[in-house]
Structure 1
Amino acid sequence: MLPVRKAPARPLSKLMASKQLPKLLVLLAAGCLTTMTGGIVSPVLPEIVQQLQLDPRWAGLLVSMHALAIAVCTPLFGILSDRIGKLKVLIPGLVLYAIFGTAGAWMQSFLPLLATRALLGAASGAVAAATIGLLGTMYEGDARSRILGYATSAMTTASILIPLIGGWVGQHHWQYAFYLYGFGLPLAAIAAVLLKEGQSGQSSVIPANQTQQLLQILRQPRTLQLYLTLALAASVVYSVVIYTPLYLREAIGATPLLNGSVLAVRAIGAAIVSALLASRLAKAMGTERAIALGFTLMSLTLATIPFLDQLEWIMPTAVLFGMGFGVVVPNVYDRLADQAPSELRSSVLAIGTGCNSLGQFISPLVLGPVWKYAGLPPVFYVAAAVALGTGLLNLLQHPQDSHQ
C-alpha cells in the first residue's frame, strides 16, 4: 500500500469551528439529497406497481435504476472533480438533480420513468463524488473518521424523514413525491455562495500524470475487498428498502405512510450508531471486526422479517438493522480513505460510492426473480445469507490490516 501520512487528531470543537460549520452543513445537506434519490420512491412503489401494472420481476428497478447510473458516473465524476475542482462538479450536479428528479412526476409508463431515474442517478453521482471528496480532504486522521461518521449519521437521519415525507405526500398521489427532488435548486444556490474552491480545505487539483498512482491504489487487494464490501452492503440494505414495503402491504395492508414510517425507523439506529459508536467500536475491536459485527446484526434482523406481522416487533427489528448498517458504512469508507493520499482521495472514495450504487442496482436483479417465483420471505433469507457471508469475509482479514 502507498504510505499515507495522517494529521494529528483535532478536538471536536475545532472540527465544528464557526468558519467550517456552514460549509460542512452544506455538504451534509448535499449528501442527504443523494439519500433521497431512492428513498422518495420506495414508500409509494406499491402504488406505482398497481397503477402502471408493472411486472414484479422488474418493478424494483424503479427504486434502484438510479444506482446503476451512480455506479457508472460517480467514479468518473470523482476523477473529474480531482482534475477540474470539486465545486465545478457539485453545483451543476445539484441543478440537474432537481430537473431530472421532478421530471419523473410526468412520466406515465415504465420505460420513460425508468429513463428519468437513470438521469437522476447520473446527477446524483456528481453530487456524491464531489461531496465525499470535499469531506475526505477537509479533514485528516481521527478527525476525518469522525466527520465521515457524522456524514453517515446525517444521511441516515435524513433517511428517517425522507420516507415519512415521501409516504405522506404519496398518500395524495404517488407522482407528488417526485416534486421533492426540486430541493436541489436552492441548495445549489447556497453552495455557490458559501463554498469557495480555495476555502474548502481540499488539496489542489491533481495533474493527469497521477493516473498511474491511482491505478496502483485500485489494484491493491485490500482496496478491491473494501469495494466488494460496499457493493454487498448496499445490496443487503436495498433488499429492505425495496421489499419491506411490499411485504408489509401483503402482510398487514400497510399504506404508503406506514411503509415510510417503517423505513424511517430503520434509520434511527444507523444515525445514532454511525455518529456516536462506529469509530469507538473500530478502536476497541479493530475495524474489520466492527464491520463484521455490523453485518452480523443486519443478517440476524433480516432473517426475522418474514416472522413479523405486528408493528411492535417490526419497528425494533428495523432499528436493530439500522444499527448494524451504521457500524458498517463509516468504517468501510474510513478504511478506503486510508488507501490513498489526500490528492487522490476523491477518486478512491467516489469509486467506492459507485460500488455502493452498483450493489443497489444488482439487488432487485437478483432478488426480483426470487420474489416472483418463490415469494417475499425467501428474499429476506437470501439477503441475510449475503450479509453473514460479507461479515465473515471481513472477519478473515489479517490483524495487521486493522486500524491501529
Structure 2
Amino acid sequence: MATATELRRSLWVLVAAATLTVMAGAILGPIVPQIQRELGVSGAAAGLIITTHGGVIVLASPLVGSLVDRIGPRRPFVGGLLVYGLGGGAGLVVDSYYPLLASRVVLGLGTAGVYTSITVLIYELYEGQAMERALGYRSSANSAGAAVWPLIGGAAGALAWNAPFGVYLLALPLGLLAAATIPDTRSSSDADDAAADGSGRSDETSGGIAELLAVFRDRPALPLVYVLYFGANALLYVIVVFYPQFLAGIGVTASLDISLYLAANGAAGGVSALAYDRLLRYGGRSTLVGAAFVLWTAGFGIATVVGTAVGAALPVILFGLGLGLVFPSTFAWVEAFAPADRQGQFSSYVASFGYTGQFLSPVLFGALVPFAGVEGVFAAAAAVAGVAAVGLGAHRFRGG
C-alpha cells in the first residue's frame, strides 16, 4: 500500500506526464510552415508530421491496454515515457521527411503507452474523492499543455526549425523519475507469472469482438461514454481548426494573437478541471456534463454572431470551461462501468475514440464550409451540443 507521501509524489509525476500527451502534436503547430520549407514538402505532407502520431495512438492503444491488464500500468508508463522521448527527440537530428515521419510513429507508440497507463495508475492508486481530484488534475494538465506548449513551440521555432523537437527529450528524465517514484500497484511476481504463461488478465482481454459486445450489452452506459469523448474531441478540433479562420475574418491574423485565443480555451478548461472534484459536491457527473453541453451550445452560438476581437474570446472560454468538466467525467465513468480486471483495455478505448474524433472533425464539419462558411460550422456544432443537452436532460427526467 502506497504511503500518502508516495501518492502525492506520484500525482505530480502523472500530472507532468499528462501534459506530454497533449504536447505530442501541439508543440509543432506553429512551425508547420518552417517544416514545409526546410524539408521541401507540401503543406499536407508537413501536416502529417503533426497528425501521424494520432493515428498510431488510435491503433496501438487497445494493444497497450491489454498489456497494462497483463503486467500492470507501471512498466508501460515508464517505458512509454522513454519511447516518447526518443521518438519525439529524434527530430533534432533527422533532416529528411520520411525518417522524420517514421520517428512520429515511434512517438505515437510512446504516447499510447503513457496515455492509457496514466489512466489506470490513477484508478489503482487513488480512491473516492482522491481519484476524482486526480482525474481533474490530469484534465487540467492537459488543458494547460494545450495552452502553453504551442507558445513554447513557436518560441523555440524562432531559434531553429527543429528546436521544438528537443522539448520532447523532457520525457527521458521524467521516465527515470517515474521509475524511481511510481509504486507498483500490483504484485510484480503475479504480473510476471501472467506475462509468462498467458494466464489471468490476458485471457480476459483476448476474447475478441464477441466478448467486447457482451460487455457493452451488460453495461450500455459504457459505449455512450466513448461517444461522449469522441464528440468532445471532435468539437474541440472545431475550435482548433476553424477558429483561426473565423478570427482572420474579423481582422485577427497574427499567429501570436491567434495562439492567445487557443491558450484562453486551454486555460479555461484548466480552471474548471481543477475545481472538478469540488463541483461534484453540488451535482453528479451527469449534471456537470449537462452544464458543459449548455456552455458549448452558448459558446458556439455566440461564435456565429460575434464580430469583434474582444467578443471572440467568450466562445473559446465557454467551450474550455465545459471541456474541463467532460474530460474527467469520462475517465471516472470508465472506471465505474468497465470490468475491474480489464480497465486497461477499456480505458485504452478512450484514447482511440478521442483521437479518432480529432482526426474526423475537419472532415465532418469542414464539408459545411463551402456552403455555409465557418459560421455554419459553429452553428452545426451548437446544434450538436444542444441536442446532446436536451437528450441528457430528457434521460435524467425519465429516470427520475
Map Cα deviations across residues 123-161 of structure 1 (whole Å, 9 max, x no partner). 211110111110111122333222211221222223222
CA shift, 1:273, in A, is 1.0
- Cα distance change of structure 1 residues 302 and 125 upon mapping to structure 2, 3 Å threshold: same
Q: Identify the match of residue 166 of structure 1 among 141, 153, 164.
A: 153
Are 2:225 and 1:226 equivalent residues in the alignment?
Answer: yes
- 1:5-404 matches, within 5 Å, as 17-45=4-32, 54=42, 63-104=50-91, 106=94, 115-197=102-184, 207-211=201-205, 216-219=214-217, 220-249=219-248, 251-252=250-251, 254-276=253-275, 278-305=276-303, 307-308=305-306, 310-371=308-369, 375-398=373-396
Give 1:261's aligned amino acid: L
Instruction: Report which stretch shifted further, 60-69 or 182-191.
Output: 60-69
User: Greater relative contact order: 1 or 2 (C-alpha under 8 angstroms, separation 6 or more)?
Assistant: 1
Q: From the CA coordinates, give the structure whose radius of gyration is larger.
A: 2
Give, in angstroms, the shift of residue 382 of structure 1: 3.1
Q: Identical aligned pairs, as a percentage?
A: 29
Amino acid at match of 1:98: G
SS of the equivalent of 2:6 reads coil
Q: Which whole-Å CA distance do the structure 1 matches of 2:32 and 2:386 have between them? A: 28
Q: Secondary structure at the match of 1:284?
A: coil
Note if contact 1:298-1:320 (Cα within 8 Å) is conserved in structure 2.
yes
Shift of 1:103: 3.6
How far is 1:173 from its partner? 5.0
- Verify the 8 A CA contact 1:289 1:394 in the aligned structure 2: no
TM-score, with length taken from structure 2: 0.82
What stretches of structure 2 of length at least 5 have no aligned partner? 195-199
Residue-pair matches, total? 384
Alignment partners' CA distance in 2, 1:189 and 1:316: 41
Q: Is the 8 A contact 2:69 2:341 kept in 1?
A: yes
Provide the rounded CA distance (Å) in 1 between the counterparts of 2:151 and 2:234.
22
Give the residue type in structure 2 aligned to 1:234.
N
Q: Is the 8 A contact 2:6 2:181 kept in 1?
A: no
Asked if the contact 2:292/2:323 (under 8 Å) is kept, the reply is: yes
CA RMSD, aligned part only?
3.4
Find the residue that maps to 1:313 and give its secondary structure: coil
1:245-264 Cα shifts (integer Å, max 9, x gaps)? 34435643533333332221
- Please tell me the residue identity of whatever aligns with 2:203: N
Amino acid at match of 2:230: A
Q: Distance in 2 between matches of 1:387 and 1:65?
A: 28
Once residues 225 and 401 of structure 1 are traced to their aligned partners in structure 2, the CA distance between those partners, rounded to angstroms, is 16
Unaligned stretches of 5+ residues in structure 1: 1-14
What is the TM-score normalised by the length of structure 1?
0.82
* 1:350–1:393 distance in 2 versus 1, CA, 3 Å: farther
CA contact (8 A) 1:298 1:384 kept: yes
Q: Check conservation: 1:171, 1:256, Cα contact below 8 A.
A: no
Shift in alpha-carbon separation, 1:112–1:236, aligned structure 2, 3 A: farther
